[in-house]
C-alpha cells in the first residue's frame, strides 16, 4: 500500500513555491509507492494554481478558513484534517510552521518543513530559537533549497538540514514559439523585449526595474517591458510607469500558465530582487536560453549558464539600464547540466526523502 503524503501550504497563490508543489502533485499522481495530496488553509477561487489543480484533477483539499482565522482555529482545523486523513508524511511549506507543529505534535509520522526563502532574512536569532523548540518537539526536519541556505539553517536550528533544489519541466522551454508569441503580442524582430516573472511584492523590486526600463526606453525606442505576475503592488507599479512616461511600452500580463512560451519571446530577463531563496523564474529563464541580468543578492547555486550578469540592487537605475543595453548581445553557454534541475530528477529525490532514504542527502 502506498504511503500517504500531505503537502501543507497556506494557499495556492502564484509563487514559485506553489508552482513546485503543483509539479510534485503532477509527477507523483500515479506513483505506486506514494499517494500525495495538498491541503491549503485558505482558498482564493480564481487564482491560477487553484484553477489549474481543479482543471487537471490534482488532489488538493482546502480547510476553508477565513483570512482572519486565528491560531487556535487553524490548529483545530489541521488536527481534524490530520485525524481524518491519517498521513504517513507531513511536508509543510512557507509560514505557519509553528501552528502545523502544534497540530501534528503527537502524530508518529515523518515530518518536514521546506524553507523557500533566504533563511537569514526571515528568521532572527530569537525567532529561530522559538521555532527550533516547536520543530524539535514535533519532530520536524528542515529542507532547504540550496547548500548556503542549509548551512544557515543548521546554525539557526542546530540540526543537519536536508537540501532539495527546485525543479522545472525542461521540455516546456524549447518549443520554438518565439516568432508566434512575438507576433501575438505585437512585437516585431527589431523590438528589444525585456521580461520579468514574479509577484508584485517589495522583495521583487519592481520599482528599480521600471525606473531602469524608463531609462532604457529613452535610449532605445524599440524597447518593451513584459511583466508577468500579480500582487499587492501591481497598481502602484502601473502608476510608476505612468509617472516615468513608459506605461505605453509596458505589458502587465497578470497570472499566466504559459510562462515557458512567454519567456521564449523575450530578449533579456531582468531580476533585481532584494533577496531570494532559489527562484524558479530565474531557473526557467535560463532553461529558455535567455541572458539574465540579476541581483547580486541571489545565490550562485541557481546559475546554470554563463549568461548571467550580476548587479547590486543598490546600484542606480542608470547603471541597471546601461548593463541591460550592453548585456542583450551575450551568447548562451550552458554552465551545468540542466538535467540536475529537471522536475523528474528533483521529484525522485523528494520521493527518497519521503521513503526515509535521506541520510546521504548532503555531502
What would the pLDDT profile of 22-44 be if each residue is shown by its tens digit?
999 999 999 999 999 999 999 87
As a whole number of angstroms, the distance between CA 98 and CA 95 comes to 8
pLDDT of residue 315: 97
Decide if pLDDT at 256 tops 80. yes
Q: Is the pLDDT of residue 231 over 70?
A: yes
Do 88 and 107 meet the contact criterion of CB atoms below 8 Å apart? Answer: no
Pick 170-339's CATH classification: 3.40.50.300, 3.40.50.12280, 3.40.50.2000, 3.30.160.20: 3.40.50.2000
pLDDT at 47: 81
* pLDDT above 80: residue 332: no
Half-sphere exposure of 318 (CA within 13 A, CB side): 0
Q: Is the pLDDT of residue 363 over 60?
A: no
**pLDDT at residue 300, as a whole number:** 86
Q: From CA 250, how far away is CA 213, in angstroms rounded?
A: 9
Residue linked to cell 521583487: 204
The fraction of the chain above a pLDDT of 90, given in percent, is: 69
State the fold for domain 3-167+342-354.
Rossmann fold (3.40.50)
Residue 329 pLDDT: 65
pLDDT single digits (tens) 171-228: 898 878 999 999 999 999 999 999 999 999 999 999 999 999 999 999 999 999 999 9
Position 362 pLDDT exceeds 80: no
Report the pLDDT averaged over residues 349-359: 87
Evaluate if residue 360 carries a pLDDT over 70. Answer: no
Model confidence at 15, in pLDDT bands (50, 70, 90)? confident
Q: Across residues 240-244, what is the average pLDDT?
A: 97
Name 36's bridge partners: 5
Sheet holding 192-197: strands in order across?
250-254, 223-228, 192-197, 268-271, 292-295, 308-311
Per-residue pLDDT tens for 87-141?
999 999 987 788 999 999 999 999 999 988 877 776 777 777 888 898 888 999 9
Q: Which residues contact 156 (CB under 8 A, 6 or more apart)?
A: 119, 123, 125, 128, 132
- Same fold yes or no, 3-167+342-354 and 170-339: yes
**Domain ranges (residues) in the chain:** 3-167+342-354, 170-339
> Which residue would you say has higher pLDDT here, 95 or 327?
327
Binned at pLDDT 50, 70 and 90, residue 361 comes out as low
Amino acid at each position: 500500500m502506498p504511503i500517504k503524503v500531505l503537502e501543507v501550504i497556506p494557499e495556492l497563490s502564484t509563487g514559485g513555491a506553489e508552482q513546485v508543489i503543483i509539479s510534485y502533485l503532477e509527477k507523483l499522481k500515479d506513483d505506486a509507492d506514494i499517494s500525495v495530496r495538498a491541503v491549503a488553509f485558505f482558498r482564493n477561487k480564481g487564482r491560477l494554481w487553484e484553477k489549474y489543480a481543479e482543471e487537471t484533477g490534482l488532489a488538493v483539499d482546502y480547510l476553508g478558513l477565513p483570512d482572519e482565522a486565528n491560531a487556535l482555529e487553524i490548529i483545530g482545523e489541521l488536527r481534524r484534517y490530520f485525524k481524518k486523513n491519517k498521513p504517513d508524511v507531513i511536508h509543510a511549506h512557507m509560514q505557519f510552521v509553528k501552528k502545523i507543529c502544534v497540530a501534528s505534535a503527537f502524530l508518529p509520522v515523518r515530518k518536514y518543513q521546506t524553507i523557500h526563502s533566504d533563511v537569514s532574512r526571515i528568521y532572527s536569532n530569537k525567532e529561530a530559537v522559538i521555532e527550533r523548540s516547536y520543530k524539535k518537539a514535533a519532530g520536524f526536519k528542515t529542507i532547504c533549497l540550496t547548500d548556503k541556505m542549509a548551512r544557515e539553517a543548521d546554525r539557526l536550528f542546530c540540526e543537519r538540514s536536508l537540501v532539495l533544489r527546485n525543479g522545472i519541466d525542461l521540455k516546456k522551454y524549447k518549443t520554438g514559439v518565439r516568432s508566434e508569441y512575438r507576433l501575438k503580442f505585437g512585437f516585431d524582430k527589431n523590438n528589444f523585449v525585456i521580461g520579468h516573472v514574479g509577484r508584485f511584492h517589495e522583495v521583487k523590486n519592481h520599482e528599480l526595474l521600471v525606473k531602469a526600463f524608463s531609462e532604457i526606453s529613452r535610449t532605445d525606442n524599440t524597447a518593451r517591458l513584459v511583466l508577468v505576475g500579480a500582487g499587492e503592488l501591481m497598481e502602484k507599479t502601473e502608476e510608476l510607469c505612468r509617472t516615468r512616461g513608459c506605461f505605453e511600452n509596458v505589458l502587465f500580463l497578470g497570472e499566466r500558465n504559459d510562462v515557458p512560451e512567454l519567456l521564449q519571446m523575450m530578449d533579456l530577463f531582468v531580476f533585481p530582487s532584494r533577496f531570494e531563496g532559489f527562484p524558479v523564474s530565474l531557473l526557467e529563464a535560463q532553461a529558455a536560453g535567455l541572458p539574465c541580468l540579476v541581483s547580486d543578492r541571489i545565490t550562485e547555486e541557481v546559475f546554470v549558464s554563463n549568461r548571467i550578469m550580476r548587479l547590486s540592487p543598490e546600484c542606480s537605475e542608470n547603471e541597471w539600464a546601461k548593463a541591460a543595453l550592453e548585456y542583450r548581445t551575450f551568447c548562451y553557454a550552458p554552465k551545468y547540466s540542466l538535467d540536475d534541475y529537471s522536475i523528474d530528477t528533483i521529484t525522485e529525490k523528494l520521493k527518497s526523502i519521503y521513503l526515509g532514504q535521506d541520510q546521504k542527502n548532503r555531502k
